[in-house]
A and B are shown apart, each in its own frame.
Chain A
Amino acid sequence: MAKNAWPAADKRDLIGERISRLDGPVKATGHAKYAYDMNRPGMLYVRLVWAPYGAAKIQSIDTSAAKAIKGVAGVWNEMNEGDEIVHAGQIVATVAATSEEIAQEAWRAVKVAYEVKQPQMNDTVLENADEKEQRDEIPDAATVDKAYADAEVKIDGHYGLAPITHCCMEAHGQFAEMKDGDQYIWPSTQNVSAYAAGLTDAAGLPASQIHVDCQYMGGGFGSKFSSDQWGAICSRISKETGKPVKLMLERDQELMVAGARPSAFANVKAGATKDGKITVFDSTCWGSGGMGTSRGLGVPYVFGNVPNIRRVARNVRTNRGSQRAWRAPGHPQACLVTMAALDDLAAAANMDALEFFLKNLDLTERPDVYREELQIAADMIGYKEKAHLRGDSGDGPVKRGLGISIHMWGGGGHKSECNCTINPDGSVSVALGTQDLGTGTRTVVGIVTAETLGLPLKRVQVNIGKDQYPPSGASGGSTTVGGVSSSSRDAATNALNMLLEKVAPSLGVPVDQLEAWDGKIQVIGDPSKSVTWEKACSMLGQIPITGKGSKPTSDGTELDNSGVGGVQMADVSVDTETGRVTINEFVAVQDCGLIIDLKTAESQVYGAMIMGVTYALYEEAIYDPITGRMLNADMEFYRLAGLADVGTLKVHMMTGPGYDERGVIGLGEPPVISPGAAISNAVANACGVRVPTLPLTPDRVIAALEQGGKLA
C-alpha cells in the first residue's frame, strides 16, 4: 500500500526541485485566456457610472439621454434619489451597450446631480478616531507606565503607513453567458468553488445552475474573494437580456473601490535595559479602512513575549473605498510599527541592530528558526562588512545603510477535495476546484500527483479553475498549497492503491510491497520486478479508476503544517540632498516547511519583495480632501516599482532536515510582510533619522532629514 506521508528525501524525484510552471508558455505567448479576453457574438459591454465624491446625497439621476443612444441595450439605476454616497467610486447606475465605445458614450450621457458634502479624509491624526471603536488591551496601566519610566533606554516614536490599493494587473470583473437556462461565468477570482453562491439572487438561479470557470487570473492579493456588486450586476444583466455580458472594472474605479489596505499609524513608547533587553512596548495605534473598521495591530509583532505590553487601538472612519484583506492583513503594518520601534530602540542603546534582534529572540515563538535565518541573511548581504551604527555613514550626500526585519505567518492548508483519475491507457488527470492566482498552484498539483504516481510531470493533466470539480478553499491566508498538496497527494495515493491492487497478483507480491517509481510499478527498491506504467494501467480493464482525496486526508495523515518565520535585510542608499531612496540589495530568507516547487516558491518571494519595495518607496492612494476623489486612480501616479527600482534581490529558502519534515506550509503572504520595515530601518541606518511614514517618498525623506538637522 502506498502511504500518504510525504516521501523521504531520497524518494523525491520532483518535489523540492526547481520546476517551471506548467502554464508558463501559454501565458508568455498570450494564449492564456483571462476573463478580459472573453468575447462572444452579440455580447454587451457594461460601464458603471460611479459617484465622483467622497460624501454626497444623490439629488437626481437622469438616464434619458443615455437610453436614447442607438446601441444602448439598457440603463439601470443602482442607487436612487436621496441615497447617500459615502465614498467615491460607488456604483450609481449601469449602462450596457453593443460596443465598448457606445457604452462609454452612454456612460457619459448619464447625468447625476449631487448635493456635495464635506468628506472626512484625514486618517493621520488620532483626534479623528471614532471613540466607540475601541479595542484596547491594557493589562495593568500602572505596571506598564512604571516599566517605561524605569527603562534605561527608551524611545517615543511615531510610525505609519499610507493607505494603498491592491492594484491587480487584471481588474476585477467577469464575463457571463446564458445557455440552456444555466448561467456560465468567467470571473477573475481567488475563490472558484464558492463564487457562484454569491450570484444566486442576481442571476435568479440556484448555485447549481451557475457554472464558474477561471483558468488564469491576474492577481487578487486578497481582493477577489467575493463575486462583488459588479459581478452581481453582470449576472443580472445577462439573465435579464439573455445576452453574453462583459463587465470588467476600469482602472480608475478598480483603484477606488476594488480593494485597499488600511492605513496604520502608531505612537510607540518602548524601553530596554542598557544592554539591549526589551522591557516594555506601549502603543497607541489607529488607522482607516474606509467606512468600515480597521482592527488594531498585533504589536509588538513577533516579539510577543515582551514583559510589559499595552495596546490602545482606534479606528478612523474615512470616506474612502472599503478596505479588503491585503496580502497578510494587518501584518505589514504591525511589522513596520514594531520593527521600526525596536530598531530605534537599538539605535538609542547605541547597539548594532542585528545584535539587538538576536539578543531578544527569546521574546519570539521560534527563536531558533529566526537565529538561523538571521545568520544566513547576514551572510547573504555582507552584514559584517557593511554594518555601521545609525547615521555613521560617511561623507558625501549619498548615505548607505542596512535594515533588518523579521516576520511570521500561519499558513496551514485549507479544506480541499480532489479526484485523481487513472485511465486504462495510462493517462492521468487530477481535478479540483482550486484556482491558480499566478502563484503556481496548477504546477504544484501536477508535481504532487506525478510524484505520487512515479510519473513525469507532463504525464499528468491538471484540471482546476472550475466549480464542477470537487470543491477547494479560496486562495487566502496562504492556505492553498497546504490544502491542494494534501488533497492531491491523498487522491493520487488512493488511486495508486486501487491500481496496485490490480497489479499485485501479476508481480506475485502483496500490495504493500509495491511502489510507483520511474514510470513503473515495481517491488519496492527492485526495478527488476516491475511492470511499466502503461502495462499496469491496462490491467484496469475497460473502466478508469478515480481516487478521492481531501484535506483533511482520508486516512488522517497530516501533510501540511502551520507557522513560518522569515527574515529580510535591505541595503539602501539615501540621497540626503534629494530624499531619493534606492535599493542596492535586498535579501529574504524564508521557511515554509516542505517545498513542493522550489522555483515557484522562490518566485513567490521575489514577487513579494518587489511588491514590498513598491509599498515601501512609492505606493500610496492619494485623495483630494475637499471632494474625496482619489487623484491617482491610474497607473501613472499610483506608482509601482519597475525593474530598475528594485535593486538586486536574493532569496534563500530554508529546506532540509528541521524544515522538510514539518510538511507543506503556505507562502503567499509571509514574504510581503517585512519589506516596509526592513527598508525603513535601512533608511534610518543610512541617514541617521527615522522617516516615520511609508512610502518613503522624497517629500517625506526631506521633511525628516530637515527635522533631524540632516538635510545635506
Chain B
Amino acid sequence: MEQMMTDDLLANAFERLLQTHCTPAHVREIENGASPDSLWEEIEQSGFADALISEDKGGADLALRDVFPLVLLCGRYALPVPMAETMVARAAYAAAGQEAPKGPILWSDDIPFETPEVRRSTGALVAAGLLVGALERAFEITVEFANDRTQFGRPIGKFQAVQQLLSIMAEQTFAAKMAAEIGFASDGWMPDPLLAALAKSRTSDAAALVSAHAHAVHGAIGATEEYDLQLFTRRIQQGRTAFGSETYWNRLIGETVIASDEEGVLDNIRQSLSA
C-alpha cells in the first residue's frame, strides 16, 4: 500500500510537469525544429531522470518496477526527449562505475552493458513501456472521438461496428500493458531479458491493430497533422519496430522454450515467462 502511494505520488508529480511543459503544441514545435533544451532542463531539475541511480550518487534508488508509471507517461505525452532512455542509461553507467555523459542520452552502443544482447533487451523494454503509453493515449482519444462525432443522427460510438473496433483496441491495449508490466517487474534497474522479450513481443503485436483501428474510427480527421492522434500513432509505428519487432522477440522466446527441459508450455510460462 505504501509502495503504491509513493508510486502514485511520483507519477502524479511527473504528470503535472508534462501537462505544463509537454503540451501537444510544444511537442509539434520541437518536432519542427525548436530547441528541446528548456523541456529537458525542467526534467533534469525535477530529478526524475536520476530515479534509478543510488541515493549517494544523487538518485532516488528506485527499481525498474517503480518507474514503470513514469515510462508510460513519457509515452502518453509523446515526450520528444529521451527521458526514459536516459533514466536507464544513467543507471547503466553508474553500475559500470563510469561517468554518464551530461544531458539527455540517446540509446547507443556507448552505453555500458555487459553484452549487446542485454543492451538490446533493456532498450526493447523501454520501448515497450513507451509504446504502451502511446497505445493508451491513442485508445482514449479514439473513445472520446467516438462519443463526440455524430453521423446519421447519433454518436458513431453507438454503432455496433464501431463498438467492436473499440473493444478490440481495449483488449489489445490492456494486454500490451500487462505484458509491459511483466517486463518492468524487476527489483533492480535491469529487466529479466526474457521478460523484456515478452514485453516487447506482445506490445509490438498489439501496435499495428490499435493504430489501424484508431485511424479507422477517426475517418479523415485522424490523418491530419493538426489532430493529435498522429502524435501517438506515428510513435506506435516507430515503437513497434524499435529494438526488434514481435517476430524477432518471438523467435528468441521460441528458441528458449524449445531448448528448455520443461515439459509443456505452461511450465515454461510459469518458470521463465512470469514476473
A and B found bound together: no
Interface residues, chain A, with chain B CB atoms under 8 Å away? none
Interface residues, chain B, with chain A CB atoms under 8 Å away? none
